[in-house]
Structure 1
Amino acid sequence: MPSKCLIRSSRAYADVRDAHHWGVEVPPGTTVDFAAVMERMRQIRADISHHDSAQRFQQLGVDVFLGAARFVGADAVVVGETKLRFKRAVIASGARAVQPQIPGLADAGYLTNETVFSLTERPGRLAVIGGGPIGCELAQAFRRLGSEVILLHKNCPDSGSGRC
C-alpha cells in the first residue's frame, strides 16, 4: 500500500514534467515537495490501517490466531498450542526484508522496504537491492521523483529450480 501511494505521486509528477509531449506547457520550475508526498502516504496508511487490523476481522467473525505456525499435516496447522484443521489453506504471511551478506552494508547504513517510507527528504542517489515487484516499484517511483537510482538484482542461472 505505501508503495502504491508513492507510485501515484511520482506518476503525477512525471506527467506534469513530461506534459509538453502532449502539447501542455507547464511553468518552468515545477517541483515535487518530497516531504509532502511522504506525509500524504503516511496519512493514507494511517487512515486505512484499521481496515487491516486483527481486531476488525475478529469483529467480523473471523477467528484470528497470532503466533508462529507450522504445518503438521496436509489438513492441519499448529499455532502456539492450538491445532487448527482446514480443507484448504492460503498462505499470506507477508514478507520481511533480509539483510544481504554484503561486506560493509551494515556500516554504510541502509533502508528496507519498510523503513524507506519514513524518509522526509528525497535521496539524491539510491541503490535498490532486489529487482522483485517492490524493488522495481521503489526504483521507478524514486527515479520519477528525481533520485538517481541503481537497481541491483541477483542473476539466477537456473531460474526454473527456484534456487539461486
Structure 2
Amino acid sequence: MKQIYFQKGKAMLLGFALIAFLGACHNGFSIFPGKNGAKTETVIYSRSELALAEDAQFGQSYEIVEGDYTVFKYTHSRADKKNVADDEYSDEFLFQVEPETTDFSYQDEEILQYSPFFTYHCFCPAIEKITGIEGSLTGSKNASGNWKIKANLDISYKVVGEETEQKKHLAFSEKFK
C-alpha cells in the first residue's frame, strides 16, 4: 500500500513539473507574429547640427548640438525574440538639411554633403565610418510642419578592426513630426 501512494505522488509531482515547465516556456517564447513587435521612431531637431566623430578603436559617434540646421533622426528596432540571447538589433540613420528647406531629393554620393550618420546597435562590431552611399533620399514638408521622408539607400561602411567594406540596405518611408 505504501508503494502505491509513493508512485501516485511521484506521478503527480512529475505532472505538475511538466505543466510548470510548459507554462514557463509559453511565457518566455512567442509564436505569434507582432507580439514583441518592431518599433520605429522618427525625430526632428530644429536649430541643431550633427557633430560627427570617427575613432579607429571605438567606431563612429555623433552628438546633436545647437546649430544652424534641421536634423532628422530615424531609428528602427527589430522585434526582440525573448528566447534568443543577444538578438537585439536596431538601425539608426541621421542627416541634416538647411533650415529653410521645404523639400529635397538627394542621390548617391550627393547625400554625403548632408552629414549622414548610420550605425546599428547590436552584439556586433562597431561601424568605424561610412565610405559611400548609393540610392535616394527624398523629403517634403507639409503645411503643418510634418515631413514625409523616403530613403532607399545602400550604405557602404568599414567595421572597426576590419579592412573590407560592408554594405547595408536601408529603406523606409516615414512621417517625421
Q: Flag whether TM exceeds 0.5 (same fold).
A: no
The structure in which a higher percent of residues are strand is 2
Give the alignment's TM-score, normalised by structure 1.
0.23
Give the alignment's TM-score, normalised by structure 2.
0.22
The structure in which a higher percent of residues are helix is 1
